[in-house]
Amino acid sequence: MVQGGLYNNTLRALELLGRADAFGTSQVPLYVLNVTYPLIPQEWERFCSGKRAVLVIEEGQPEYIEQAANQILRQRNISARLLGKQVLPMQGEYTVDVLRQGLREFLDEYSPSLPAAAIRTATEVPLVPLGKLAALVPARPSGLCVGCPERPFFAAMKLLQKETGALHISADIGCHSFATLPPFNMGNSIMGYGLGAAGASAFGSGSGKPAVSIMGDGGFWHNGLTSGIGNSVFNKHDDLTIIIDNGYSAATGGQDILSSRAADAHRQGNHSIIDAVRGVGIRWAKRTHTYDMRGTLKVLREALSGNYRGPKVIVADGECQLNRQRRVRPLMRQAIQAGKRVVRERFGVDPDTCTGDHSCIRLSGCPSLTVKANPDPLRPDPVAHVDNSCVGCGVCGEVADAAVLCPSFYRAELLYNPSGWDRFLSRVRTWVIGTLQRRSERRRLRYAL
């Protein structure tokens, strides 16, 4: 038996022991619990009947599943022995190596031999010390999705701190927690869901700068409105609370919340966060759009250096890109199949203009922004490159513009089912560009001679 979250590691451990393959075919019967509570007695009875022993792969202590399953089997007179912490550790993460050692001990005792045809040649992978492994494998921290609307906001915050100096930022649970990791590295404390503003209340007094906290719209409606915003009004704090309004409880799967814009026959949304904070006494509340980095920087500067003293709130709008793509892509695909004219935006980097300093990557960190070999043989440094995962949000170009970086980003339009006018314009543009290129080539040859 294995918890659903440990299935991949368990399968890989069995593969290394020669008892499974990479496609999910296992010679050892597996009972995968994607939902670990409540347990279903009939399923346990069916799975454990006729077996000598069953290994319960369950992280953590106490071993709740093992204890409950033992009770089920004893009540139903199933003689299979349940093992868990006898061969697996009581604490720590169940990595592939940990599971491989425990499974090997379990199988050596209760299934020492399977038919020769059923067992592949086991792949013995030596254990590698973590220090050595870290030197071989590049770090890959968790991060925001491609096109995430929170990315340009945190890039703006990073630029702002070059002017103001380092700020103590009280972070919160949610997608924006990834801003505590590279390339942003901001977020000094996290207390709990919706407690960003409450945590900041302890850090603003006597520092000379307003305390800054960040929470998402989900955390705001969960308890941030009362424990954070209401508390700052009641105690007259001079702080700044930033609420990232992406339209959903995005970090937990994109569920609708009170401020969601989508129409729902069974729920009432479209409640304004600005109206809610003003309702509990906030007098300084402003809204910005996350993709508008210049506008965001202007509002942030006003909040941190203005004359107003008291609690301040900035609501940063920007729909969750993951949920937006789930909504938009099927509609776009249907329109293309129906023969309708569809325009899709993509962004790219001109390799001839790119300087290769990669400031754009260090400031935004978008997964679609990577590097490739420089086409100029005299310039060895790799150039920035936008791969095919780009969703056309424009964050990379917006960051480059706000930070006054190189003008190497360009916007391209992919046109599906073009009209006659579109085709005519394309021919004209091709002719004009070709004429200019030929003229430039003739001039270059003239000077060369």
Q: What is the CATH number of the domain that holds 196?
A: 3.40.50.970
CATH of the domain at 388: 3.30.70.20
| Cα 79 from chain centroid (whole Å) | 46
Domain that holds residue 83: 2-126
Here the CATH number for the domain that contains residue 68 is 3.40.50
Is residue 424, in this structure, part of any structural domain at all? Answer: yes
Residue 49 φ/ψ, nearest 5 degrees: -65, 135
C-alpha Rg value of the chain to the nearest Å: 29
The verdict on 344 and 307 lying in the same domain is no
73 in any annotated domain: yes
Within-domain flag for 143 = no
- Asked whether residue 169 falls in the same domain as residue 277, the answer is yes
Q: Which of 60, 91, 126 is the last residue of a domain?
A: 126
Kindly state the DSSP code that residue 82 receives in the 8-state scheme: E
What lies within 8 Å, CB to CB, of 111 at 6+ separation is: 28
Out of 323, 351, 384, pick the residue that ends a domain.
323
331 lies in a domain? no
- Would 376 be classed as within a structural domain? yes
Q: Residue 97 has which token pair?
A: 């190596």
Do 304 and 347 have their domain in common? no
- Dist CA 93 CA 113 (whole Å): 29
Instruction: Note whether 161 and 270 are same-domain residues.
Output: yes
Assess contact for 61 and 91: CB atoms under 8 A. Answer: yes
283 and 235 share one domain: yes
- Which structure tokens are listed for 447? 């000077």
- Tens-binned pLDDT, residue by residue, of the chain (449 aa): 898 889 999 999 999 888 888 888 888 999 999 888 889 999 999 999 989 899 999 998 888 999 999 999 999 998 888 999 999 998 888 999 899 999 999 998 887 765 433 444 445 556 666 667 667 666 667 788 888 989 989 989 988 988 888 888 899 988 888 888 888 888 888 888 888 888 888 776 555 677 899 999 999 998 899 889 999 999 888 899 999 999 888 888 888 888 888 777 778 888 999 999 999 999 999 999 998 888 999 999 999 887 888 899 999 999 998 888 888 899 999 999 999 999 988 888 888 888 887 888 888 788 888 888 888 888 888 888 888 888 888 777 777 776 666 778 888 888 999 999 999 999 999 999 999 888 888 877 776 55
In a domain, 190, yes or no: yes
Helix count (H) and strand count (E) of the chain?
Answer: 15, 14
Q: Are residues 230 and 258 in the same domain?
A: yes
Give the Cα separation of 261 and 417 in Å (integer): 31
Residue 445, in any domain of the structure? no
Phi, psi of 2 (to 5 degrees): -140, 140
Domain membership flag for residue 144:
no
pTM for this model (two decimals): 0.69
For residues 283 and 363, state if they share a domain. Answer: no
- Answer yes or no: do 177 and 314 share one domain: yes
How many domains are there within the chain?
3
155 and 277 in a common domain: yes
Question: 256 and 296: one domain?
Answer: yes
pLDDT of residue 316: 95
Q: Are residues 266 and 375 in the same domain?
A: no
Looking at the fold, whether 100 and 231 belong to one and the same domain comes out as no
